[in-house]
């Protein structure tokens, strides 16, 4: 049963029901061993955080910054702030100093909570340029703090301010005064097209989102939920709160690169992720298939075909599989697919929400074929995550982003733009009345900037309207669609399609160098550097053939005619990626102007 209280009270109400049951499973920063705490311990620390914040002088609806990787301290801070009607503003742990400075100054943040040494060092460097900033509070006890500096405090010392709960009467009074109109978070968008904008998310939005999602997303108190995406990301934030509201255990994964190790150690039943995670799983399994013996390779390919027929052609279409097919699938599921799931740490898999980018059809079919329930969805920060999603156990179409959740009114506007109205939609952008006004239609629908269409009640995406390219021949190109098709190739790690105002489609490609180097050694291709691999005609020929195969279903004008291999990946440091790893096309066009122009030379 869901408990959907006001966020200022949610954790206490959940703890009252589940008491000493395990609530959080986590490692300390840089820790090796998993630890846990109960719902009672969780709520007790949060109560202490609320008292400590009042001791610091945090005001009603004051903005607090959180600049950290996922951690239990992050959760303590969020809930502690909500308990006194304060607002938390999450920063990505990878944010640049320029981004931090902008957000602190824009939101007039006095108190900034940071994670590890890297975040602390960045915060210290921008301190002199942030007029409102008064104090940095550090989660990780291993961070070296300067002595006798009143602007810096460890989280341990911060908690001491709340010992004895001497301000609890005031905490409870604030909770009584709390309303659904209170702001819970301001989430600064990743800014693929310009400066970051602070999306206002109210308590009422969270309440409506949790109610609506609970009807369609069957997470429950028996689930073990891995938190992989950063809590800064609205997808993980909304998902984690939904899981808390039903009493599920949260397994807090601090370092994204360790997620597969964490999965094998903790055996989650659910985990939200972006498509790139499943693309890497797909590539890993495909690589094992290709390096297996002939008999094993044939068996696994046959198993995948049986899984696809059973789970996609029949179950996904709402049809009963023939008995012979069902019995064969059950046998293969127990003997072949169970081994794959065990290798991933997903022996007890329930379902896996996936959103944030286009899911390639190959990948979606593969995940379902091996017996994992991928729940594809669509949403934005401005919609407090979910707009639509697949419904577990009900028919769905590969390629769709599911059915709208309760309360969301979807309208398809001019240019096929998806327009939204409902209780989960933001009221606007912090300090940006001008952009807020531009973001809504005259009749109150939010403009998503995404193009799509509805078919038999399901929502299908096309592309970002602003990202549609028009070639010099007048043809419209959807770059993300082409990129998603080519990213399924195991030798491609990153790709950016180039086409706007150009004669034809080209691409910048960052290879998966570990696999490419293995290929080169296997085929006696000598190289001393990545640059050598990028220029080798045999490598280029091999990739050209693979790209040609993948893009056969594209229209002729959509197909990549030329590409350039890059020796290093797109990076946040050079401004080429957002914190959510989306491509900043304008920056790529500037940074790789010479390489792009060369592809269009006669």
- Taking only the tens place, the pLDDT of each residue in 151-175 is 999 999 999 999 999 999 999 999 9
Q: Are residues 284 and 408 in the same domain?
A: yes
- Is there a domain that residue 171 lies in? yes
Query: Could you give the 3-state DSSP secondary structure of residue 452?
Result: strand
| pLDDT, average across residues 137-153 | 94
- Is there a domain that residue 199 lies in? no
Please, which pLDDT band fits residue 193 given cuts at 50, 70 and 90? very low
Q: Are residues 377 and 479 in the same domain?
A: no
Q: Are residues 501 and 392 in the same domain?
A: no
β-pair type (152-154, 135-138): parallel
- Taking only the tens place, the pLDDT of each residue in 207-222 is 999 999 999 999 999 9
Q: Are residues 444 and 487 in the same domain?
A: no
Please, which pLDDT band fits residue 192 given cuts at 50, 70 and 90? very low
Res 290: pLDDT: 84
What is the value of pTM for the model shown?
0.85
Residues with Cβ within 8 Å of residue 130, at least 6 apart in sequence: 101, 104, 105, 109
Q: Are residues 91 and 137 in the same domain?
A: yes
- Structurally, how many domains does the chain consist of? 3
**Residue 575, class by beta-carbon neighbours within 10 Å (0-12 exposed, 13-18 middle, 19+ buried)?**
middle
Res 445: pLDDT: 97
Res 190: pLDDT: 63
CB atoms within 10 A of CB 487: 23
Query: Could you give the 3-state DSSP secondary structure of residue 46?
Result: helix
- Taking only the tens place, the pLDDT of each residue in 382-409 is 999 999 999 998 999 999 999 999 999 9
| CA-based nearest residue to 180, from 212, 210, 202 | 202
Q: Are residues 444 and 473 in the same domain?
A: no
- Is there a domain that residue 327 lies in? yes
- Taking only the tens place, the pLDDT of each residue in 522-572 is 999 999 999 999 999 999 999 999 999 998 878 788 899 999 999 999 988
Which of 405, 434, 465 finishes a domain?
A: 465
Lookup: tokens for 147 = 């002595």
Res 414: pLDDT: 81
Q: Are residues 561 and 439 in the same domain?
A: no
Query: Could you give the 3-state DSSP secondary structure of residue 275?
Result: helix
Residue 141: give its domain's CATH number.
Answer: 3.40.50.980
For 313-381, strand residue ranges (E) read 352-354, 374-380
- Is there a domain that residue 303 lies in? yes
**Residue 415, class by beta-carbon neighbours within 10 Å (0-12 exposed, 13-18 middle, 19+ buried)?**
exposed
Q: Are residues 434 and 481 in the same domain?
A: no
- Rounded Cα gap, residues 499 and 286, in angstroms: 31
Please, which pLDDT band fits residue 583 given cuts at 50, 70 and 90? confident
- Is there a domain that residue 105 lies in? yes
- Is there a domain that residue 314 lies in? yes
β-pair type (249-252, 22-26): parallel
- Rounded Cα gap, residues 130 and 137, in angstroms: 16
Q: Are residues 454 and 517 in the same domain?
A: no
Please, which pLDDT band fits residue 371 given cuts at 50, 70 and 90? very high
Please, which pLDDT band fits residue 248 given cuts at 50, 70 and 90? very high
- Rounded Cα gap, residues 346 and 153, in angstroms: 40
Q: Are residues 498 and 477 in the same domain?
A: yes
| pLDDT, average across residues 470-497 | 84
Domain that residue 589 falls in = 468-599
- Is there a domain that residue 183 lies in? no
- Rounded Cα gap, residues 72 and 70, in angstroms: 7
Which of 465, 500, 525 finishes a domain?
A: 465
Q: Are residues 319 and 455 in the same domain?
A: yes
Within the chain, how many helices (H) and strands (E) appear? 22, 25
Residue 380: give its domain's CATH number.
Answer: 3.40.50.12780
- Is there a domain that residue 150 lies in? yes
Residue 503: give its domain's CATH number.
Answer: 3.30.300.30
Query: Greatest CA separation found in the chain?
Result: 76
Q: Are residues 422 and 478 in the same domain?
A: no
């Amino acid at each position: 049963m869901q408990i959907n209280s006001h966020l200022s009270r949610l954790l206490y109400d959940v703890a009252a029901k589940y008491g000493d049951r395990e609530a959080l499973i986590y490692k300390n920063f840089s820790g090796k061993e998993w630890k846990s705490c109960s719902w009672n311990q969780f709520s007790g620390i949060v109560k202490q955080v609320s008292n400590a914040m009042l001791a610091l002088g945090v005001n009603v609806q004051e903005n607090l910054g959180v600049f950290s990787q996922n951690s239990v301290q992050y959760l303590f801070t969020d809930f502690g702030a909500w308990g006194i009607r304060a607002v938390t503003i999450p920063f990505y742990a990878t944010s640049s100093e320029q981004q931090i400075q902008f957000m602190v100054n824009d939101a007039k943040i006095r108190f900034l909570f940071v994670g590890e040494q890297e975040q602390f060092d960045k915060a210290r460097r921008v301190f002199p340029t942030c007029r409102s900033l008064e104090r940095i509070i550090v989660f990780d006890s291993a961070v070296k703090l300067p002595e006798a500096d009143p602007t810096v405090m460890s989280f341990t010392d911060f908690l001491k301010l709340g010992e004895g709960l001497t301000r609890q009467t005031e905490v409870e009074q604030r909770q009584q005064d709390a309303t659904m109109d209170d702001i819970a978070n301001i989430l600064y968008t990743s800014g693929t097209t310009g400066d970051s904008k602070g999306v206002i998310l109210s308590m009422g939005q969270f309440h409506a989102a949790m109610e609506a999602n609970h009807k369609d997303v069957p997470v429950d108190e028996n689930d073990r939920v891995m938190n992989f995406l950063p809590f800064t990301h609205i997808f993980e934030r909304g998902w984690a709160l939904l899981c808390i509201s039903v009493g599920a255990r949260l397994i807090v994964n601090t370092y994204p690169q360790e997620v597969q190790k964490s999965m094998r150690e903790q055996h989650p039943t659910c985990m939200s992720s972006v498509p790139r995670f499943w693309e890497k799983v797909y590539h890993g399994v495909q690589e094992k298939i290709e390096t297996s013996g002939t008999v094993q390779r044939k068996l696994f390919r046959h198993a995948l075909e049986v899984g696809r027929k059973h789970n996609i052609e029949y179950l996904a279409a709402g049809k009963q599989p023939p008995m012979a097919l069902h019995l064969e699938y059950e046998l293969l599921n127990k003997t072949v697919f169970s081994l794959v799931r065990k290798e991933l740490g997903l022996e007890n898999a329930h379902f896996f929400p996936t959103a944030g980018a286009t899911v390639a059809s190959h990948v979606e079919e593969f995940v379902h074929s091996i017996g994992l329930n991928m729940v594809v969805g669509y949403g934005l920060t401005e919609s407090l995550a979910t707009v639509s999603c697949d419904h577990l156990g009900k028919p769905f179409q590969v390629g769709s982003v599911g059915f709208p959740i309760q309360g969301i009114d979807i309208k398809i506007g001019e240019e096929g733009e998806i327009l939204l109205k409902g209780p989960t939609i933001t009221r606007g952008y912090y300090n940006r009345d001008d952009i807020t006004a531009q973001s809504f239609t005259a009749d109150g629908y939010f403009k998503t900037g995404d193009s799509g269409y509805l078919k038999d009640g399901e929502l299908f995406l096309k592309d970002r309207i602003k990202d549609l390219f028009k070639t010099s021949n007048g043809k419209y190109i959807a770059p993300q669609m082409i990129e998603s098709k080519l990213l399924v190739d195991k030798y491609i790690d990153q790709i950016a399609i180039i086409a706007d105002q150009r004669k034809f489609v080209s691409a910048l490609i960052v290879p998966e160098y570990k696999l490419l180097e293995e290929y080169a050694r296997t085929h006696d291709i000598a190289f001393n550097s990545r640059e050598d691999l990028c220029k080798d005609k045999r490598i280029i020929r091999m990739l050209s053939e693979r790209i040609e195969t993948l893009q056969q279903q594209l229209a002729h004008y959509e197909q990549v005619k030329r590409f350039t291999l890059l020796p290093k990946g797109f990076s946040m440091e050079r401004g080429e990626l957002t914190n959510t790893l989306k491509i900043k096309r304008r920056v790529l066009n500037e940074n790789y102007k010479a390489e792009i122009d060369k592809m269009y030379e006669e």
